[in-house]
Structure 1
Amino acid sequence: MKKVLITGANKGIGFATAKLLLQKGYYVYLGSRSIQNGASAVDKLKAEGLANVECIQIDVTDDNSVKTASEKIDVLDILINNAGINGGNDPYTALEATPAEFQAAFNVNVIGTSRVTQAFIDLLKKSEEPRIVNLSTSVGSLALQSDPNWPAYNYAKYAVYAASKAALNMYTIHLAYELRDTNFKVNAVCPGLTATDFTFGNGGEAETAARRVVKYATIDQNGPTGKFFSEETNPKTEEINW
């Protein structure tokens, strides 16, 4: 049975992703910053008959928390870096956002992802088919954000969140490159606008977003690596420009 760690999985897209992977026969380490919230999420899944799940307390911004989490897991095949924050209060544009808002978003969305990946990379290397999925967003695409013909071009730019996800995309490119001669598949996936606390209830169903994430978390050895996917933005091929 393959094992998966999902950060920030006690609710929203992370929780829906955990549920879908459990239904597919995977063992899930449900990562949660709050042990209470994580335990509650695990109880909900077990109440539905999904038993192969356990809560792992992990704060992606804390070295000791991540180290402790890594010591509790002995086998890992898939890492889904789902934990993230939007950076501040709407609209947190380039001219209005505070340095603290930028710092907080980068600390979770970029540095946190790097911290977790480095902590678990040795375990992943022991897997025959290791996979890493970094949850990104189409608004983190420099190509799309700078295209006046893109439907979302005239929306509020969300500079804090978009800048942090653009940096995450660059991290993904470098990570995939460094692992290019291995069995790793490393990709960035935009789950699409999803109705969660993160988006203040706006968007589609979390289950739809979860299917998009799971698709690239479970690809075979013929699958892509070092790519950026958004089914919502490009339904035909799903791949979008960085």
Structure 2
Amino acid sequence: MATILISGANKGLGFETARQLVAAGHTVYAAARDAARGRRAADELGARFILLDVTDDASVKAAAKTVAADGGLDVLVNNAGIEPRLDDGGFIPVSEVTADLAHRVFDTNVFGHIRMLHSFLPLLERSAAPVVVNVGSGASLMRDLSNPDNPAHFYPDVTYPASKAAMNMLTVQYAKAYPGMRINAVDPGFTATDLNFHAGHQTVEEGAEIIVRMAQIGPDGPTGGFYDARGVIPW
């Protein structure tokens, strides 16, 4: 059994991923930036709570130090992410997108992943079967968003798909740099969570399936790829 850390595990896909992995017998760190919510979720899951804010260098480093002292890590699931919306759940008009907004989104969805990898890769290198799962999105695929015949074409947001496209590149480049690890991105599909005001057509159980599957691949598994429940997604 593996020791697994999941960022943003107090709700949504992160919570469900943790639930399924705990049920499979793994030791799971349920990481969250809100201590009260995180502890509540970890207690419900039977997981270990760890305070972690992916936008804060000191927080990420402290979490890595704690996990190292507890015995190390085998699997890192970079799940924490944000999508900017208006208060009513609508998309922010392109004309109102600012550099400050983009920085806030990238700070979680891209820079947060880099912070996590920088701090936790040394722990993963000590594992016999290290795995990284980056939770991405089909909205990252330019070929789909630019194709008027594709259902994804309607999606109007700027910063979220841009950040997920950047995360795809991180996945490719880190996988090349660490060939001894299995580093992949996954698309859970359009899942009903707080992120999209529960507009998704999938349940969290369905969305988490590919995350859970890729978190449990062995040393002979794929690396540097993008996957959904049906299989490989061409970059």
**Does structure 1 retain, via aligned residues, the 8 Å contact 2:84–2:91?**
no
Partners in 1 of 2:125 and 2:67 — Cα distance?
Answer: 14
- In the other structure, the counterpart of 1:49 is none
1:55-106: per-residue Cα shift (whole Å, max 9, x none)?
0000000011111111111210000000000033231243332222211110
* Paired AA for residue 169 in structure 1: N
Note if contact 1:87-1:104 (Cα within 8 Å) is conserved in structure 2: no
Distance 1:13 1:223 in 2: 23
Q: CA deviation at 1:230?
A: 2.4
- Counterpart residue number, 2:44: 44
Q: Does 1:241 align with 2:234?
A: yes
1:185 aligns with 2:182: yes
Is 1:207 the equivalent of 2:201? no
Q: CA RMSD in A?
A: 1.3
- Whose helix fraction is larger, Structure 1's or Structure 2's? 2
2:46 equivalent to 1:18: no
- Could you say which residue in structure 2 is the equivalent of 1:175? 174
Deviation at 1:220, TM superposition (A): 1.9
Distance in 2 (CA, whole Å) between partners of 1:197 and 1:134 is 19
* Distance (whole Å) between structure 2 residues aligned to residue 177 and residue 215 of structure 1: 21
- The aligned counterpart of 1:30 is 30
- In the alignment of these two chains, the number of paired residues is 228
Q: How does 1:36-75 map to 2 (within 5 A)?
A: 36-46=36-46, 53-74=47-68, 75=72
Report the Cα distance in structure 2 between the residues aligned to 1:225 and 1:149, rounded to whole angstroms.
31
TM-score of the two chains, using structure 1 as the length reference = 0.90
Matched residue, 2:221: 223
Say whether the 8 Å CA contact 1:93–1:156 is kept in structure 2. no
Could you tell me how far apart the structure 2 residues matched to 1:98 and 1:71 are? Answer: 36
Mapped to 2, the partners of 1:132 and 1:94 lie a distance apart of: 33
Aligned residue for 2:4? 4
Pairwise CA distance, 1:175: 0.6
- Give the percent of matched residue pairs that are identical in Structure 1 and Structure 2: 39
**Secondary structure of 1:176's aligned partner:** helix
Q: Structure 2 regions of 5+ residues with no counterpart?
A: none
